[in-house]
Amino acid sequence: MLPRELLVNRELSWLEFNKRVLSEALRADVPLFERLKFAAIYFSNLDEFFMVRVGSLSDQHIMTPDKLDDKTGWNAQEQIAHMLEKIHSFEPMTEEMFTSLVAELKQYNIDFVSFDKINKMDEMIAQKYFSEEIKPLLSPQIVDRHHPFPFLRNKEKYVVTCHTNKNDNERFGVIPIGHLPDYFVVSFDGRKKVLFTCDIVEHFVDHLFTKQKIVETATIRVTRNADITVDEALLDYDIDFRGVMRELLKKRRRLFAVRLQMSCKSEKIQKCLCRHLEVTPAEVFVQKIPLDFGFGFSLPGKVKATDNSLFYPERKPQIPAVYHQKIPIRKLADSEILLAYPFHSYNPFLNMLYEAADDPEVVSIKITLYRLAGHSKVVSALCYAADRGKDVLCMLELRARFDEQSNIDYSAILEEAGCRVIYGLSDYKVHAKLCLITRKDADGNVSYTTQVGTGNYNENTSEQYTDLCFITNESTIGRDAAEVFNNLSIGETTEHTEALWVAPHCYRTHVLELLDREIDIQQHGGHGYVAMKVNSFNDVGIMEKMIEASQAGVEIHLYIRGICCLRPGIVGSTENITIRAIIGRYLEHSRIFVFGEGDRQRIYIGSGDLLNRNTQRRVEIFAEPKSERIRKQLLYIMKTLELDNSQSWIMRSNGSYERVACQEGERPFNNQMRLYDYFGRDAEETPAPAQEPVAAAPEAAPQPGWFRRLLNRLFGAS
């Protein structure tokens, strides 16, 4: 067991990550509507945190109350108490954020109407909307002996009243408003006025209960547990897996409440709700700001904002200039390609699928699917390939949390198109990003094109997340990929590979082996070096090995966006470990591992973080690019992370984070913008990273059919 002073609780670490997201909404140098979006992301993240993490720990408290966290020794109830305390501590920061946003929006003629001090004109506008747009759609309910307390849906808002009738009997009223627009935007006298529906209903609630005296009124919002495991359902249902997931989704809607949000401190209402919802006072959050910040995503479109200064400068994904010579897929011949999103367009990968569908030598396309876009172009390409007679195998993970219904729907679409659909393994989620194209020529020779990614096959998030797409014709990787798909098809995991790392058996062990190698190098007079970029880290076994490496003198740089349960910089244990986090315009999502320097250097990219679930309970895939060009590109990415002084945070030895600021005389360096410049031109023409202003990269015009004209400049004509 590691000493507790070296570790951070997983949940508290995640909350610190979300606090960093909230900090972006307070930055004066971030465009105003982008700050509003960061606020919306913070609250959306927090919703999911309550549904998943608080929900699962609440289950654990009931089922295994004596189970202790391996980082802090807290049981589930103690962890929840610490989590709620920390979330409550963020409330002043959220209020400051909203106040500053409202004040700055006023400067752009956008007013959030406050009903605490409403003027006559605004009240007339609100009255009109209430009478014409809202009241006809409301269905108020009374709670008494004859009218039981209604079920409150997850994440929907309600206006609740406490009132008395002519006999002074106290009753409660519940008004569902989740089916109405969240807000209205009214243009008046050259200004845009934003009126929240819940505020309008609260203000005119006496028009709904005309014979009662209103004592208290509040807008409320309930968050419910969403943590349901498939194993639980399989015990109860003897039906197909897709049917199991449908039943699970129905069950999820009615799980117990884990949070109650209220717009004001209404004691009678709170007492009533706590009794009916079975929540404790600590799980009640009284907010002076909107209960739901979803409007942060949509408001710019509703107010028709055209001022470019309110948004980040437009950056279009590019198709790199090197992809303009004609080489078919089958002629790639051991060549390797790297696409870096969002700097590169997703179209090259889509075109690869379509070209495989039209290639007479292609026998099959096999792919793992985890999260897909709403109107997925990837699914369209796979359906087209099946229609062209290709054997298309889709490993579709139905347990991708909150994407279950989407994946259920896509499974039916793919099957209808003629694709073979499998649902993975009972004990392991398939989180790998793997695509295999198999060809057979006229002489019977079999060859492969394999793609390994760090992110989902989702063309929408490819413009929002930083991810990597590695494509190769290397035969060993192709054989490993074929073995992975064969095992998935028969419900088994892959235990042995030649080139790929495949979790749960061939990922963690390789990481530990390469850490051991760097320890040995350091102990024999060399310089041990490790750099890793992941989203989260809590695997204790790997932590133990990193501490051993640090104690031996190995230089370790970790770039971890979210959860990190290891404290750096502690003398005698982790003093040779530095930990940084990037929070910027794009969600950092790629995973890159670098072990060693010079000729012994090994570089891997893949789908898995260093969480227990990734190393031990999921199928993940990592590949090692051999191309010197790609290796330089990956090292360049890692170098820009180290030099970033615009959107970087450094973790201190006490587990807190401090924003990295420009020093006096130092110029801003934004790694994401620098990578736009870098991937917009040939790598060999790009200088090494320097701390200087980054010029915008010229946008390359998309090249139709680029995958048929691949990389002549890069690999030579075939």
CB 7 within 8 A of CB 71: yes
Given a contact cutoff of 8 angstroms between Cβ atoms, the answer to whether 618 and 607 are in contact is no
And the tokens for 481?
Answer: 């990929």
Report the pLDDT value the prediction gives residue 698, as an integer from 0 to 100.
Answer: 33
Q: Is the pLDDT of residue 416 over 60?
A: yes
Beta-carbon contacts of 568 under 8 Å, excluding residues fewer than 6 positions away, are 558, 574, 577, 578, 579, 651, 652, 653
Q: Which of 203, 344, 431, 589 is catalytic?
A: 431
Q: Is 225 exposed, middle or buried (0-12, 13-18, 19+ CB in 10 A)?
A: buried
pLDDT, one tens digit per residue, over 79-89 is: 999 999 999 99
Percent of the chain clearing pLDDT 90 (strictly above): 77
Q: What is the mean pLDDT of residues 472-489?
A: 96
Q: What pLDDT does residue 63 have?
A: 87
Which of 75, 220, 61, 50 lies closest to 152, judged by CA? 220
> Which residues, including other chains, have CB under 8 Å from residue 317's CB and lie 6 or more apart?
341, 342, 343, 344, 345, 346, 462, 463
CB count in 10 Å sphere of residue 717? 10
Residue type, 466: T
* Percent of the chain at pLDDT exceeding 70: 91
Q: Which of 132-141, 621-630, 696-705 has the lowest mean pLDDT?
A: 696-705
- Does this model's pTM top 0.75? My answer is yes
- Other Cβ atoms less than 10 A from the Cβ of 250: the count is 9
Residue 199's Cβ-side half-sphere holds a number of Cα atoms within 13 Å equal to 22
Confidence at residue 703, expressed as pLDDT on a 0 to 100 scale: 37
Per the annotation, the verdict on 557 as an active-site residue is no
Residue 91 makes CB contacts below 8 A (sequence gap 6+) with: 285, 287
Tell which residue, 304, 290, 288, 298, has the closest CA to residue 110: 304
Tell me, what's the pLDDT at 239? 58
How far is the first Cα of the chain from the last one, in angstroms, to the nearest whole number? 57
Average pLDDT over residues 277-297: 95
Buried b (16+ CB within 10 A) or exposed e, 519-540: bebbeeebebbbbbbbbbbbbe
Query: pLDDT for 154-197, tens place per residue?
Result: 999 999 999 887 777 888 999 999 999 999 999 998 899 999 99
Q: What is the mean pLDDT of the chain?
A: 90
Q: What is the mean pLDDT of residues 282-293?
A: 96
Confidence of residue 699 (pLDDT cuts 50, 70, 90): very low
Q: Which carries the bigger pLDDT value, residue 380 or residue 334?
A: 380
Rounded mean pLDDT, 512-527: 97
Q: Is the dihedral of CA 547, 548, 553, 557 positive or negative?
A: negative
Position with higher pLDDT, 30 vs 248: 30
